Amino acid sequence: MSTLKSIFSWLGRFLERARTVMLNLGTAFVLIFLTIIIIGAFTASGPDAKDPSGRVLILDPQGIVVDEEVFSDDFLASITNDESDQIQTRDLIELIQNIAADDEIPAVLIDFSGTGFAGPTTALNIAKELKALKDSGKRVIAFGDRMTTSSYLMASQASEIWIHPVGSISIAGLGGMRQYNKELYENLKINFNNYSQGDFKSAVEGNTRTNMSENDRLQRTAILEPIWNEYKSLMSESRGITAEEIQYFADNYIGFFGEAAMMNIEFATSKNIINGTKSFPEFRQYMIENFGEDEDADTTTYKYISYQEYADQLEKDLEEDSENEIAVITAEGVIMEGEIAPGVAGANGIVKQIRKAHENENTKAIVFRVNSPGGSIIASEMMRDELFAAKRKGLKVVVSMGDYAASGGVYISTPADYIFAEPTTITGSIGVAIALPTLENAMDYIGVNFDGVVTSKYAGWDPLQKIDDDLDKIFESWGAGAYDRFITFVSDSRSQPYEDIKSIAGGRVWIGSAAQELGLVDELGDIDDAINYAVQMADLEDYQVEYYGQELSPEEIIIKELLDSFDVSIKEPEVLTALSGLSKLYSEYTDLKQPKALIACENCLVDID
């Protein structure tokens, strides 16, 4: 007994010491973090603001362009990850429009090689703003050492394009290859039981087939070709060449290695895809000759101002002071339960925003911006329920579809009084994806048997065991019921007969212009069109727009403002990135034990380099 008592006594002392060490480590981390911010704030503070008059504005956004900036639950991890930089589409567009209207800025130097886009429609919209910038009479110059499809789309809107002599330029186009793992799973003795609903619902066919189905090929061709044609049209029109020449370049001059594609540069120059090449010193001298040397700079360079410095000096337009508010709420990313995070339209967080909007007596209408390929049914239902709660109070709901509003993105749009989509929005995919892997063959092969006592037929069942005929019927009924509910929601929302919606459902993906012809959306237009329509529906003479973003704590706001103001960057240690990857892998494994019916369109996402 005394021995046992000693063990517990030792264990208690150990736990107490461990708790003290963990508290000290946590306190030390916070102090180190705040010290870095304070030091960075002092060391990063520079001279007085530059006068932008007569200076070339350098527009080189670093990060991904999204509808609404969000952060993960782990705020510190979110802001210390270099990949988390986000640029709100409306902020970038407003900046470009301000530059176009500023007669004091003689030219703009653009480089979008470090910019990603939430989807192809976002990229096209930014390219069109750059085109308008050039059309305003502003001289727009593009320069870089590598250009890919998306960065060249932006560069092609410039007055002139220069690239480094051993740089890389390639236009890879859109789309990509997908793995088909049926034979792999057969070799591993894993069965994939597919209960997906809809002949075009291809989300799980990578696990159930050895090649692409004809239906999937048909629908992907139908969405990729119009978007690609729009890309080629913008590129070729601005450069004064034909779309066929862009296509020939994409087909015959690849850029897999990222640099030194000399043949690419020679062909691109000969066909006016670019103006030519300049080394970094040559380009610097070119800019000095055109715009003058900056006498105040520490080194020899031309007169320039960064877009961040310029944006900091812009006077914010004061919105009309009105008690009538149009609430703009964004669902961006995969629809899941929980809080909002980068790439995740967290239902709990979005529901809070919707509720906050309809509980505000000044809210007169809601614009619901949907940029999602879908996801969880229950999470979609949560958002849908809260939108109907708003409608019961007499508020109008207008949906604005962005890059993607497919599957669950359609589901959460069904409460809308009116739906806008952009011509290249990817929508539809009205179907249900359910696929459940079972390992009975693998268990049999390695000699594992199951036995036990249960009080109901399937109390002891899990995916390590076989799906019998009765359970197979249950899963099939489960998927069919979810599909029927989905079609019914769309049918009611669009005031179309159930059979008519079913005939265009089937999990098929449609592009925005086709969706309008089918009656899945009411009108083609962007988010500004949706806001203006909401104003009309609410019959308002004056209003202001209220964007409902993610709410941060006062402490988080202070840290973010410090980091933004003084441009302090704290990189995430590689070990944390590795642990994050392991965590995701574990989550994928646990999902095998928790089968879910999803309204998702994983393969409607368009790959652009």
User: How is the chain split into domains, by residue range?
Assistant: 56-73+83-170+253-313, 325-604
The pair of structure tokens assigned to 216 is: 């999937």
For the beta carbon of residue 273, count every other beta carbon within 10 angstroms: 26
Of 287 and 201, which is predicted with more confidence? 287
Lowest mean pLDDT among 399-403, 598-602, 605-609: 598-602
Phi-psi region for residue 394, left (φ > 0), alpha (ψ -120 to 50) or beta? left
- Per residue in 531-540, pLDDT (tens digit) is 999 999 999 9
| Conformational region of residue 510, where left means phi above 0, alpha means psi within -120 to 50, and beta covers everything else | beta
73 pLDDT higher than 80: no
Reading the block at residue 86, the tokens are: 């986000």
Render 435-461 in DSSP notation, one character per residue. Answer: EEEE-HHHHHHHT-------SSTTTT-
Q: Does the structure show a pLDDT above 70 at 86?
A: yes
Top-confidence residue, 81 or 229: 229
Rounded to whole angstroms, the Cα distance separating 89 from 123 reads 10
Q: What is the pTM (predicted TM-score) of this model?
A: 0.85
Among 462, 424, 429, smallest CA distance to 227 is for 424
Say which residues have a Cβ less than 8 Å from residue 308's Cβ, sequence separation at least 6.
567
- Return d(Cα 243, Cα 236) in angstroms, integer: 5
Residue 355 DSSP SS3: helix
DSSP state of 26: H
Q: Is the pLDDT of residue 19 over 70?
A: no
- Closest among 536, 495, 534, 522 to 420, alpha carbons compared: 522
Residues 422-461 have pLDDT tens digits of 999 999 999 998 888 999 999 999 999 999 999 999 999 9
Q: Which residues pair with 306 in a beta bridge?
A: 58
CATH topology of domain 325-604: 2-enoyl-CoA Hydratase; Chain A, domain 1 (3.90.226)
- In the DSSP assignment, the letter for residue 84 is G
Could you say which DSSP state residue 50 is in? P
pLDDT digits (tens, 9 = 90+) for 196-247: 999 998 888 988 999 999 999 999 999 999 999 999 999 999 999 999 999 9
CB 422 within 8 A of CB 530: no
Q: pLDDT > 70: what percent of the chain? A: 80
Strand partners, 116: 64
DSSP state of 520: S
* Cα–Cα distance list, 359 to 351, 354, 365, 400 (Å): 12, 9, 12, 22
Least reliable range by pLDDT among 250-259, 330-339, 495-504, 530-539? 250-259
Give the 3-state secondary structure of residue 325.
strand
Predicted pLDDT of residue 468:
94
Q: Which band of pLDDT confidence, cut at 50, 70 and 90, is reported for residue 587?
A: very low
Q: Is the pLDDT confidence value at 145 over 50? A: yes
**Stretch 357-380: mean pLDDT:** 96
For 190, the 3-state DSSP assignment is coil
For residue 342, give Cα distances in angstroms to 56, 136, 179.
33, 35, 26
Query: What is the four-CA torsion angle of 132, 133, 137, 142, rounded to 10 degrees?
Result: -120
Query: What pLDDT, in 10s, does the model give residues 454-491?
Result: 999 999 999 999 999 999 999 999 999 999 999 999 99
More confident residue, 212 or 50: 212
Phi, psi of 158, rounded to the nearest 5 degrees? -80, 165
Task: Reply yes or no on whether the pLDDT at 354 is more than 70.
Answer: yes
pLDDT-derived band at 579 (thresholds 50, 70, 90) equals very low
Is residue 98's pLDDT more than 90?
yes
Question: Residue 18: its pLDDT value, please?
Answer: 56
Q: What is the pLDDT of residue 132?
A: 97
- Give me the mean pLDDT over the 568-591 stretch: 39
Does domain 56-73+83-170+253-313 fall under CATH 3.90.226.10? My reply is yes
Decide if pLDDT at 17 tops 90: no
Alpha-carbon Rg of the chain, whole angstroms?
28
CB 58 within 8 A of CB 304: yes
Report H helices in 89-204: 89-101, 120-135, 149-155, 182-187
Q: What is the mean pLDDT of residues 260-276?
A: 90
Picking from 40-44, 131-135, 489-493, which range would have the lowest pLDDT averaged per residue? 40-44
User: Which of 464, 473, 383, 370 is closest to 426 using CA atoms?
Assistant: 370
- Say if residue 128's pLDDT is above 70: yes
pLDDT given at position 600: 78
Mean pLDDT of the 382-402 span: 98
Arithmetic mean of pLDDT over the chain: 86
In angstroms, how far is CA 7 from the centroid of its own chain?
54
What pLDDT is attached to residue 439? 93
Provide the sign of the torsion angle of the four alpha carbons 276, 291, 135, 86, taken in this order. positive
Bigger pLDDT: 296 or 61?
A: 61
Active site residues per annotation? 201, 407
